[in-house]
């Protein structure tokens, strides 16, 4: 007979809310030690089961994925914003959408994008003065947004950049938990909900403006060799394969996902190097020794910094699924219809898989260590059929941008430098990440 899944806290009405509300990230780190790899969490209006074991993550995302689906709650929360974009679409809609988006991320395209990534980074660096203290998160957001605009939308200058950044900020803010977390419907006129609605309206205006410009310019039809994602989707619209709403949904998804999570990852990488000068100097030595930066440039130390940053501070820190049929995991019977959470944060920071897991140690990523690590003990981009389609794009962007920045400047910590993630839609920093520029 299956055992009862242990439940975190059992406070009447509030359930697990108090334990989570004190420090959600620390809760994710500590709960597996106290409750084991499978445990139930209940907050007002919501109950879910957490899997914090690499083998169980593999089971959900790959081995027994037919027993799990995207959580309808996630689709309900993001549906108004993302529609049938790749993050929220299911079934045939997802398959068809991926077919149209995938060519934008072919290896040949990625190599072409590399030059744009380096050019946009050089432009951003021109803003930075010697001795100036900058917000690394603000700079990273501005930079990654300009890269997406150039590579995915085919425009060199998007006047609406500030509106997009503000919209992304308002959208993610809506998902920040309160001290006592509970579900607040979108129709409730809270300040966060009002900002969210205004932000989605602004974002629709921006996307509509870009599409009108592209259609008017006549660049949308490039046959089978579309030069960017926007033109490829517009071509599909002209042929009747995609509706205008579907084009909009895919573009909004790529615009938000393509800059927000990468900006967060870049911010933490820069902040970690600023606060770990020994590691920073090792990477500086590597990137300043190469004659030229290209997508093919060998940068093993830089790659390890990117990998370790994504381990410690995964921008997507939880994945949500729902069982479609009963499943037995770790001796527990999980009924059909159960919401399931897979936490990158909990697994990436577990001493079951990593020595000294809370330490920033890029050197841990040796080939031997990677071979011995269970596949799903590290999954910053998810896994299985729904693994992030932009994974290679993001990794290339992170390594090239990081290397280009460090070839020009040394970023130092200040007394105000703080890496404090907030558990919103992503693990973005709670406030500015201040670093000092040295040329």
Q: Encode 245-272 in three state secondary structure.
A: HHHHHHHHHHHHHHHHHHHHHHHHHHHH
CA atoms of 436 and 96, how far apart (whole Å): 46
Residue 25's DSSP bridge partners are: none
CA atoms of 250 and 206, how far apart (whole Å): 14
pLDDT at position 222, please? 44
**Of 151-160, 197-206, 386-395, 405-414, which range is least confident?**
151-160
- Stretch 327-354: mean pLDDT, rounded? 96
- Stretch 112-137: mean pLDDT, rounded? 95
CA atoms of 104 and 119, how far apart (whole Å): 19
Whether the pLDDT of residue 160 is over 80: the answer is no
Q: Please tell me the pTM assigned to this model.
A: 0.91
Residue 378, SS3 per DSSP: coil
Residue 395 banded pLDDT, cuts 50, 70, 90: very high
Residue 221 banded pLDDT, cuts 50, 70, 90: very low
pLDDT at position 159, please? 60
CA atoms of 8 and 22, how far apart (whole Å): 14
DSSP 67: G
Q: Name the pairing type of β-strands 46-51 and 339-342.
A: parallel
CA atoms of 342 and 333, how far apart (whole Å): 17
Domains along the chain with CATH numbers: 17-438 (1.10.630.10)
Of 31-40, 160-169, 231-240, highest mean pLDDT: 31-40
Whether the pLDDT of residue 15 is over 70: the answer is no
**What is the phi-psi region of residue 331: left when phi exceeds 0, alpha when psi lies from -120 to 50, beta otherwise?**
left
DSSP 66: G
């Amino acid at each position: 007979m299956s055992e009862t899944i242990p439940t975190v806290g059992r406070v009447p009405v509030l359930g697990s809310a108090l334990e989570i509300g004190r420090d959600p990230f620390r809760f994710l780190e500590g709960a597996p030690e106290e409750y084991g790899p499978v445990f139930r969490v209940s907050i007002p209006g919501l109950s879910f089961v957490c899997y914090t074991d690499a083998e169980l993550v593999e089971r959900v995302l790959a081995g027994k994925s037919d027993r799990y689906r995207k959580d309808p709650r996630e689709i309900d929360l993001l549906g108004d914003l993302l529609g049938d974009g790749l993050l929220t679409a299911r079934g045939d809609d997802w398959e068809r959408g991926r077919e149209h988006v995938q060519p934008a991320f072919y290896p040949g395209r990625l190599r072409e994008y590399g030059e744009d990534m380096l050019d946009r980074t050089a432009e951003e660096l021109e803003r930075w003065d010697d001795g100036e203290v900058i917000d690394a998160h603000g700079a990273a957001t501005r930079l990654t947004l300009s890269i997406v605009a150039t590579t995915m939308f085919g425009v060199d200058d998007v006047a609406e950049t500030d509106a997009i950044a503000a919209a992304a900020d308002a959208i993610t803010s809506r998902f920040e938990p309160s001290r006592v977390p509970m579900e607040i419907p979108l129709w409730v006129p809270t300040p966060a909900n009002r900002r969210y609605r205004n932000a989605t309206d602004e974002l629709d205006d921006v996307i509509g403006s870009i599409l009108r410009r592209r259609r008017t310019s006549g660049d949308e039809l490039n046959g089978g060799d579309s030069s960017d994602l926007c033109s490829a989707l517009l071509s599909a619209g002209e042929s009747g394969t995609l509706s205008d709403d579907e084009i909009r949904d895919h573009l909004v998804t790529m615009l938000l996902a393509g800059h927000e999570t990468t900006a967060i990852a870049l911010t933490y990488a820069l902040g970690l190097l600023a606060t770990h000068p020994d590691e920073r100097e090792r990477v500086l030595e590597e990137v300043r020794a190469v004659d030229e930066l290209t997508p093919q440039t060998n940068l093993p130390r830089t790659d390890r910094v990117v990998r370790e940053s994504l381990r410690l501070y995964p921008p997507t820190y939880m994945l949500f699924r729902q069982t479609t049929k009963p499943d037995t995991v770790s001796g527990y019977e999980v009924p059909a219809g159960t919401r399931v959470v897979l936490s990158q944060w909990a697994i990436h920071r577990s001493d079951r898989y990593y020595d000294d897991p809370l330490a920033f140690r890029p050197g841990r990523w040796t080939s031997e260590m990677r071979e011995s690590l269970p596949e799903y003990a590290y999954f910053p981009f998810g896994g299985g059929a729904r693994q992030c389609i932009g994974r290679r794009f993001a990794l290339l962007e992170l390594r090239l941008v990081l290397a280009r920045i460090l070839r020009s400047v040394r970023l130092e910590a200040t007394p105000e430098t703080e890496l404090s993630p907030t558990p919103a839609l992503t693990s973005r920093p709670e406030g500015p990440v201040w670093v000092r520029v040295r040329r």
